């Protein structure tokens, strides 16, 4: 009787999650795979084949864009970690109990505004006739307006800003669990700041770092608005290619193939990242 | 007891919803951003109290993508451009033929009506009638770029870093015309069209260094133009007319080789459920006073007789400031897009975007 109830409650608790995964993740992706393996031969006539994937390999523009998206996403992830770590450390370890909540809230506030509005915020600041350029002229630092917008650096800045919160949150929660005595012990044993950071804090925060990096990397590689709005003449982003295939070229087959390639590519990058740093999902993300 | 009230409540709610379904018909419009102004929707609902209007804003490509996803269900009236009917219908079967007897075609400008009919007749059935027409061309700030008059001028080093364009098919076609080709004529010979596209790509890649940025929507284009960051751009005429209202120096410039003209149409999605309401809406927006409200919102000219006179005054001034009769006679109407051309153009656009030209 008891075990039946236990089993029932387990099933009931698990059902929404299982349904979500099956109906909204697995099923659509299977549909995408099937779609990506169809080749259009004539209007309303399709054949089974790998043509869409072969097209991708044969067209340097496509895989260059994918590699570009990948490498810029890695850069964004790295920068987000670099900037986010001290912030998270301050919130979790240095700030007082009271200010901690307020600081955390401050980090959350930008998330209440949609991506689109935040991108427009950057546009207002960075454009040639925007706030920063005008300000620099006003104080006499430059005499010609400068265009900060429409280049890759802007895209990176915008993306870091959009995703950094997803780096800070897991870091704060892992660092929060660390006993201050461990840091003190490190100093007592003669370690300097850097050694303590390298040998104690970073290893302890590893679960947070890994899960933060994975989330940030995936979000960046899959983002659409920010790179489109802030990017310049040469800034192609892979999601833009997918959108174009689906919407402007009515080529769902190839769009599906691209979508699948993006998923595969980001998964491989995450796997390589875990391998290179000697981490596994089991002892990092599962722990955090 | 509590249980009972709950059930009764539920039943009452269900009854209510079914009742309201039976009473009100819903007209689901799939149309362009400004093609269903609130004022008109309200007026329509007042006249036909049993019809609810639901509006979804979209663009040509998304309209087709949406209808394709459902096989033509989910909407009762769509408004794609005239060149987006034939191929989409052949390929995806998303529209149904119109019953022209239910539409007051007598008020429509004959040339537009015949043109759209010719473009959208499949197996003797007509799939669309015209609604609004407008053009794509150029705009320039006459105070700083008085001599701006052709597509090619976007690449003139005189305007280095001060021009913009949207990286879509319009600029490909415009550039092709400016290089002396007739891309629409080449639609029947896709090898020739590919050659033209290759030449156009070369030219536009070379031109990249001259462009400040590719605009993506009316808003960022307006901001760049009004702030003076650019002095000229490829544009939709309606955007240029709006800017003319704020700065009389910014005018629409029909390119020397002819502005590219489109006609947005009325078409019925294949699985639409409220055809009668759709016909009512079509006839409603063709009434003269409603045409003026509509054109005030869209900035485009209604394809009815005397459509120009029915424009609100400010828009009419902007149009007359931009077009001479010769320009109107020189319009190049977008030709039906044959299958495969979207792919060819898409590849060309990707090539231009990926090229490093400054």
Average pLDDT over residues B85-93: 90
Residues B108 and B159 in one domain: no
Out of A26-35, A193-202, B19-28, B310-319, least confident range: B19-28
Cβ partners under 8 Å of residue A277, min gap 6: A210
Average pLDDT over residues B43-48: 94
Q: How many domains would you assign to chain B?
A: 2
Q: Is the distance from CB of A251 to CB of B91 less than 8 angstroms?
A: no
Average pLDDT over residues A198-202: 89
Asked whether residue B19 carries a pLDDT value surpassing 70, the answer given is: no
Q: Which of residues 158-187 of B touch A (CB under 8 A)?
A: 168
Q: Does B339 touch chain A (CB under 8 A)?
A: yes
> Residues B249, B251, B256, CA angle at the centre, nearest 5°?
130
* pLDDT at A288 (0 to 100): 53
Helix (H) / strand (E) element for B263: namely strand B260-266
In this prediction the pTM is 0.84
Q: Is the distance from CB of A213 to CB of A167 less than 8 angstroms?
A: yes
> Do the chains contact at A233 and B229, CB–CB below 8 Å?
no
Per-residue pLDDT tens digits for B146-167: 999 999 999 999 999 999 999 9
Q: How many CB pairs under 8 A join A and B?
A: 73
Cα–Cα distance for residue pair B193/B199, rounded to 1 Å: 10
SS3 per-residue string spanning B130-178? EEEEEEEEEEEECCCCCCCCCHHHHHCHHHCCCEEECCCHHHHHHHHHH
Asked whether residue B17 carries a pLDDT value surpassing 60, the answer given is: no
* pLDDT at B26 (0 to 100): 93
> Do the chains contact at A248 and B168, CB–CB below 8 Å?
yes
* pLDDT at B185 (0 to 100): 93
Residues B66 and B192 in one domain: no
Residues B256 and B290 in one domain: no
> Do the chains contact at B65 and A250, CB–CB below 8 Å?
yes
Residue A275: Cβ within 10 Å count: 10
Q: Which domain holds residue B145?
A: 134-261+332-354
Asked whether residue A246 carries a pLDDT value surpassing 50, the answer given is: yes
User: B162 lies in a domain?
Assistant: yes
What burial class does residue B238 get, using C-beta atoms within 10 Å of its C-beta: 0-12 exposed, 13-18 middle, 19+ buried?
A: buried
Q: Does B276 touch chain A (CB under 8 A)?
A: no
* pLDDT at A286 (0 to 100): 66
Average pLDDT over residues B341-351: 90
Q: If pLDDT is split at 50, 70 and 90, which confidence band does B265 have?
A: very high
User: B272 lies in a domain?
Assistant: yes
Cα–Cα distance for residue pair B106/A266, rounded to 1 Å: 58
ipTM higher than the 0.85 cut: no
Q: How far B350 CA lies from chain A's nearest CA (Å)?
A: 7
User: B58 lies in a domain?
Assistant: yes
Asked whether residue B12 carries a pLDDT value surpassing 80, the answer given is: no
Residues B11 and B34 in one domain: yes
Q: Are strands B25-32 and B232-236 parallel, antiparallel or unpaired?
A: unpaired
* pLDDT at B16 (0 to 100): 46
CA distances in angstroms from B224 to A123, B165, B217, B336, listed in the order given: 11, 11, 11, 32
Residues B24 and B100 in one domain: yes
Best of B86, B346, B349 to disrupt the A interface (most A CBs within 10 Å) is B346
Asked whether residue A90 carries a pLDDT value surpassing 70, the answer given is: yes
Asked whether residue B23 carries a pLDDT value surpassing 60, the answer given is: no
Asked whether residue A119 carries a pLDDT value surpassing 80, the answer given is: yes
Instruction: Report helix angle B275-285 to B288-298, nearest 10.
Output: 90
| Chain B residues within an 8 Å CB radius of A43 | 90-91, 339
Residue of B208, B227, B342 lying closest to A233 (CB–CB): B208
Across chain B, what does the average pLDDT equal? 89
Cα–Cα distance for residue pair A240/A141, rounded to 1 Å: 37
Cα–Cα distance for residue pair B126/B147, rounded to 1 Å: 43
φ, ψ for residue A128, nearest 5 deg: -55, -40
The sheet with strand B51-58 has its strands ordered as B51-58, B25-32, B77-78
Across chain A, what does the average pLDDT equal? 89
Q: Does B206 touch chain A (CB under 8 A)?
A: no
> Do the chains contact at B213 and A128, CB–CB below 8 Å?
no
Average pLDDT over residues A238-252: 89
Residues B55 and B118 in one domain: yes
Residues B127 and B138 in one domain: no
> Do the chains contact at A249 and B346, CB–CB below 8 Å?
yes
Instruction: Report helix angle A202-221 to A152-176, nearest 10.
Output: 140
User: B324 lies in a domain?
Assistant: no
> Residues B250, B164, B148, CA angle at the centre, nearest 5°?
50
| Chain A residues within an 8 Å CB radius of B64 | 250
Q: Which of residues 193-252 of A touch B (CB under 8 A)?
A: 228-229, 232-234, 236, 241, 244-252
Domains of chain A: 53-114+151-276 (1.10.3720.10)
| Chain A residues within an 8 Å CB radius of B62 | 247
Which SS3 state, helix, strand or coil, does residue B58 take? strand
Cα–Cα distance for residue pair B188/A143, rounded to 1 Å: 54
SS3 per-residue string spanning A107-163? HHHHHHCCHHHHHHHHHHHHCCCCHHHHHHHHCCCCCCCCCCCCCHHHHHHHHHHHH
Helix (H) / strand (E) element for B42: namely helix B38-47
Q: Does B340 touch chain A (CB under 8 A)?
A: no
* pLDDT at A158 (0 to 100): 93
Residues B348 and B215 in one domain: yes
Residues B182 and B147 in one domain: yes
Q: If pLDDT is split at 50, 70 and 90, which confidence band does A285 have?
A: low
Residue B299: Cβ within 10 Å count: 24
Residue of A128, A232, A244 lying closest to B346 (CB–CB): A244
CA distances in angstroms from B229 to A141, A250, B153, B245, listed in the order given: 20, 34, 17, 19
Which chain B residue has its CA at the smallest distance from A66's CA?
B354
Q: If pLDDT is split at 50, 70 and 90, which confidence band does B2 have?
A: very low
How much of chain A exceeds pLDDT 70, in percent? Answer: 98
Q: Does A61 touch chain B (CB under 8 A)?
A: yes
> Do the chains contact at B61 and A250, CB–CB below 8 Å?
yes
> Do the chains contact at A43 and B61, CB–CB below 8 Å?
no
Cα–Cα distance for residue pair B233/A237, rounded to 1 Å: 24
Q: Which of residues 4-43 of A touch B (CB under 8 A)?
A: 43
Q: How far B341 CA lies from chain A's nearest CA (Å)?
A: 9
Asked whether residue B3 carries a pLDDT value surpassing 60, the answer given is: no
Per-residue pLDDT tens digits for A210-234: 999 999 999 999 999 999 989 888 8
Residues B139 and B247 in one domain: yes
Residues B15 and B46 in one domain: yes
CATH of the domain at B51: 3.40.190.10
Residue B97: Cβ within 10 Å count: 18
Average pLDDT over residues B179-186: 94
Q: Does A147 touch chain B (CB under 8 A)?
A: yes
* pLDDT at B15 (0 to 100): 47
| Chain A residues within an 8 Å CB radius of B61 | 247-248, 250
User: B113 lies in a domain?
Assistant: yes
Q: How far B220 CA lies from chain A's nearest CA (Å)?
A: 9
Average pLDDT over residues B208-234: 92
* pLDDT at B135 (0 to 100): 93
| Chain B residues within an 8 Å CB radius of A241 | 350
Best of B223, B347, B357 to disrupt the A interface (most A CBs within 10 Å) is B223
Residues B224 and B151 in one domain: yes
Which chain A residue has its CA at the smallest distance from B91's CA?
A43
Q: DSSP code of B81?
A: B
* pLDDT at A247 (0 to 100): 85
| Chain B residues within an 8 Å CB radius of A150 | 212-213
| Chain B residues within an 8 Å CB radius of A229 | 216, 220
Q: Which of B92, B100, B56, B48 is nearest to B77 (CA)?
A: B56
| Chain B residues within an 8 Å CB radius of A234 | 208, 353-357
User: B184 lies in a domain?
Assistant: yes
Q: How far A91 CA lies from chain B's nearest CA (Å)?
A: 38
Asked whether residue B271 carries a pLDDT value surpassing 80, the answer given is: yes
> Do the chains contact at B351 and A61, CB–CB below 8 Å?
yes
* pLDDT at B235 (0 to 100): 95
Q: Does B47 touch chain A (CB under 8 A)?
A: no
């Amino acid at each position: 009787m008891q075990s039946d109830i236990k089993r029932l409650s387990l099933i009931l608790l698990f059902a929404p999650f299982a349904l979500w995964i099956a109906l909204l993740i697995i099923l659509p992706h299977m549909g995408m795979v099937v779609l990506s393996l169809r080749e259009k031969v004539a209007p309303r006539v399709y054949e089974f084949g790998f043509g869409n994937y072969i097209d991708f390999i044969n067209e340097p523009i496509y895989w260059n864009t994918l590699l570009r998206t990948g490498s810029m996403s890695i850069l964004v992830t790295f920068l987000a970690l670099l900037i986010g770590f001290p912030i998270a450390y301050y919130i979790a370890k240095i700030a007082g109990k009271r200010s901690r909540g307020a600081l955390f809230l401050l980090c959350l506030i930008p998330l209440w505004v949609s991506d689109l509005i935040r991108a427009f915020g950057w546009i207002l600041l960075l454009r040639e006739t925007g706030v920063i350029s005008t300000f620099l002229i006003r104080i006499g630092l430059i005499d010609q307006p400068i265009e900060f917008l429409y280049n890759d650096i802007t895209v990176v800045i915008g993306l870091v800003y959009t995703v950094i919160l997803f780096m800070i949150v897991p870091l704060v929660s892992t660092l929060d669990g660390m006993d201050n005595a461990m840091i003190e012990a490190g100093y007592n044993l003669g370690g300097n700041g850097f050694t303590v950071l390298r040998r104690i804090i970073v290893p302890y925060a590893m679960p947070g770092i890994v899960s933060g990096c994975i989330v940030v990397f995936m979000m960046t590689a899959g983002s659409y608005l920010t790179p489109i709005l802030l990017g310049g003449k040469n800034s192609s982003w892979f999601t833009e290619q997918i959108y174009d295939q689906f919407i402007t070229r009515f080529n769902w087959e190839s769009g599906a193939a691209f979508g699948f390639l993006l998923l595969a590519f980001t998964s491989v990058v995450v796997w390589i990242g875990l391998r290179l740093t000697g981490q596994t999902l089991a002892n990092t993300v599962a722990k955090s | 007891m509590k249980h009972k009230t709950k059930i009764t409540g539920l039943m009452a709610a269900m009854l209510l919803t079914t009742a309201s379904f039976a009473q009100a018909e819903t007209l689901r419009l799939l149309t362009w951003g400004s093609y269903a102004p609130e004022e008109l929707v309200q007026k329509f609902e007042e006249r036909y109290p049993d019809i609810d209007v639901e509006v979804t804003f979209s663009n040509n490509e998304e309209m087709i993508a949406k209808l394709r996803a459902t096989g033509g269900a989910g909407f009762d009236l769509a408004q794609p451009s005239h060149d987006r009917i034939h191929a989409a219908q052949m390929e995806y079967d998303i529209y149904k033929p119109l019953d022209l007897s239910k539409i007051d075609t007598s008020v429509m400008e004959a040339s537009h009506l015949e043109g759209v009919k010719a473009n959208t007749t499949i197996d003797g059935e007509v799939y669309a009638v015209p609604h609004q027409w407008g053009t794509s061309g150029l705009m320039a700030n006459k105070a700083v770029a008085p001599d701006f008059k052709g597509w090619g001028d976007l690449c003139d080093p005189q305007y280095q870093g001060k021009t913009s364009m949207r990286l879509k098919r319009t600029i490909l076609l415009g550039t092709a015309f400016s290089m002396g080709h007739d891309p629409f004529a080449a639609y029947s010979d896709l090898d020739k069209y590919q050659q033209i596209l290759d030449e156009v790509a070369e030219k536009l890649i070379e031109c990249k260094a001259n462009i400040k940025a590719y605009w993506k929507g009316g808003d960022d284009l307006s901001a760049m133009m009004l702030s003076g960051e650019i002095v000229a751009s490829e544009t939709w005429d309606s955007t240029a007319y709006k800017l003319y209202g704020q700065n009389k120096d910014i005018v629409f410039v029909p390119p020397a080789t002819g502005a590219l003209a489109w006609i947005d149409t009325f078409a019925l999605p294949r699985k639409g459920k409220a055809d009668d309401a759709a016909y009512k809406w079509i006839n409603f927006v063709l009434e003269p006073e409603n045409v003026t409200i509509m054109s005030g919102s869209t900035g485009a000219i209604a394809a009815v007789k005397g459509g120009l006179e029915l424009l609100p005054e400010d828009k009419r001034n902007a149009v007359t400031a931009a077009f001479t009769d010769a320009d109107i006679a020189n319009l190049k109407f977008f030709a039906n897009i044959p299958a495969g051309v979207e792919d060819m153009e898409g590849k060309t656009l990707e090539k231009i975007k990926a090229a490093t030209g400054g």
